Amino acid sequence: MKKTTPAKKTVASSAKKTAAPPSKKSAATKSAATKSAATKSAATKSAATKSAATKSATTKTAATKSAAKKTTAKSTEATLKKTASKKAASQQPTPKKPATKPESHAALVRRARRINRELAEVYSYAHPELDFENPFELLVATVLSAQTTDLRVNQTTPRLFAAYPTPEDLAAAVPEEVEELIRPTGFFRAKTKSIMGLAKALRDDFGGEVPGRLDDLVKLPGVGRKTAFVVLGNAFGVPGITVDTHFGRLVRRWKWTEETDPVKVEAAIAELFPKSEWTMLSHRVIFHGRRICHSRKPACGACPIAELCPSYGEGETDPEKARKLLKYEMGGLPGQRLKPPPDYPGKPAPPLAAG
């Protein structure tokens, strides 16, 4: 009986040993299950995060598109409003500037005479820009100056007057020889006919002398009121207004007159100034037109009467740029006369051969 007891213990111990392995398997199974659950949970969370991110991105994109659509709509609406506003504005009449009070005749006279005084200070040396020694030479030179510059005439007449010093000499000349001498002045055939015609008239009708009356001068071939006043004012001391292209242009810019016909311009300006000023006024205005107030590009920025000019701004207003536009002695260049007066501040013009 005592020997059977250990056997039971052995069996029990064996049984316990046999039962132990199932316990380890259960733990492993649980661990695997836990890991699987954790993996699934992580995967689920990741999927949820991605889904949320995707939804968020989709929402933001949709919001951006919506905002862009709204912005485009607003821009389109603004453009349409602007277009409509422009159309409405174009259909309405443009408001007119308030009319300025017209200048009275008395105010015009005061302004015109002030301009003349200012020009007298600037061009104290103003003079006829044709070289001449007597009334006959001045008359011929003035006829030749049509459609050319005084400089070109001054470069041409020395040879002409050397060959034909008197009306009698020129009246007896050979036309072809005269044409060749005055060719540089242009229109030489027509001008030859004029100067030879007036020379013959002076010889035959006035004893070879140039008359000192307007009515007599305008009867000579090629002589009009402008030429007659040049001769009367500078050779005989008879006051006259010389309306050339420069004079006419400037008096219109200054609003002294709106007339374009030379005779009407002359009459209008004669009402603004005393007769004693007519000849020198003509010189000053012409000087200013040739040196500063040019036809195409006036040098407004260098003009001494800019504050008195209603047309200021038509030309260059920058002082530095305007100074570069000045001509003749104002620009440091030679003048138009080969023999200028003693008080002329510029350089004499060069002879034809040197020019």
Model pLDDT for residues 31-72, shown as the tens digit of each residue: 444 444 444 444 444 444 444 444 444 444 444 445 444 544
* 185 burial via Cβ count (<10 Å: 0-12, 13-18, 19+): buried
Handedness of CA 223, 249, 290, 271 (dihedral sign): positive
Phi/psi at 347 (nearest 5 deg)? -95, 145
Beta bridge partners of 334: 347
pLDDT tens-place string over residues 160-177: 999 999 999 999 999 999
d(CA 257, CA 110): 14
- Residues 319, 125 contacting (CB under 8 angstroms): no
> Active site includes 50?
no
d(CA 154, CA 129): 9
Count of CB atoms situated within 10 Å of the CB of 265: 20
pLDDT for res 352: 87
Phi/psi at 148 (nearest 5 deg)? -155, 180
pLDDT for res 353: 72
pLDDT tens-place string over residues 304-335: 999 999 999 999 999 999 999 999 999 999 99
Say what the pTM is.
0.72
User: What DSSP line would sit under 183-215, residue for residue?
Assistant: GGGS-HHHHHHHHHHHHHHHHHHSTTS---SHH
- Residues 229, 241 contacting (CB under 8 angstroms): yes
Q: Is 241 left (phi over 0), alpha (psi -120 to 50) or beta?
A: beta
d(CA 1, CA 4): 6
User: What DSSP line would sit under 284-351, residue for residue?
Assistant: HHHHHHHHTS-SSS--GGG-TTGGG-TTTTSS---HHHHHTT--GGGGT-B-S-SS--TT--SBPPPP
Q: Is 50 exceeded by the pLDDT of residue 4?
A: no
pLDDT for res 62: 47
Q: Is 70 exceeded by the pLDDT of residue 354?
A: no
What is the identity of the amino acid at 124? Answer: S
User: What DSSP line would sit under 74-89, residue for residue?
Assistant: HHHHHHHHHHHHHHHH
Q: Which residue matches tokens 């219109």?
A: 252
> Active site includes 244?
yes
Count of CB atoms situated within 10 Å of the CB of 327: 15
Count of CB atoms situated within 10 Å of the CB of 86: 10
Least confident of 155-169, 270-284, 339-353: 339-353
Identify the active-site residue in 169, 244, 255, 327. 244
User: How many angstroms separate the Cα of 157 from the Cα of each of 69, 150, 230?
Assistant: 84, 10, 17
Listed ranges 50-54, 89-93, 213-217; the one with the highest mean pLDDT: 213-217
Helix (H, G, I), strand (E, B) or coil at 125: coil
- Residues 344, 335 contacting (CB under 8 angstroms): yes
CA angle 233–237–243, rounded 5-degree value:
15
Identify the active-site residue in 131, 150, 191, 226. 226
d(CA 299, CA 321): 8
Angle between helices 150-163 and 135-144 (to 10 degrees): 130
pLDDT for res 96: 45
Least confident of 12-26, 97-111, 112-126, 196-210: 12-26
- Residues 314, 326 contacting (CB under 8 angstroms): no
d(CA 38, CA 35): 5
Residue 342: partners with Cβ closer than 8 Å, 6 or more residues away: none
Beta bridge partners of 347: 334
pLDDT tens-place string over residues 222-274: 999 999 999 999 999 999 999 999 999 999 999 999 999 999 999 999 999 99
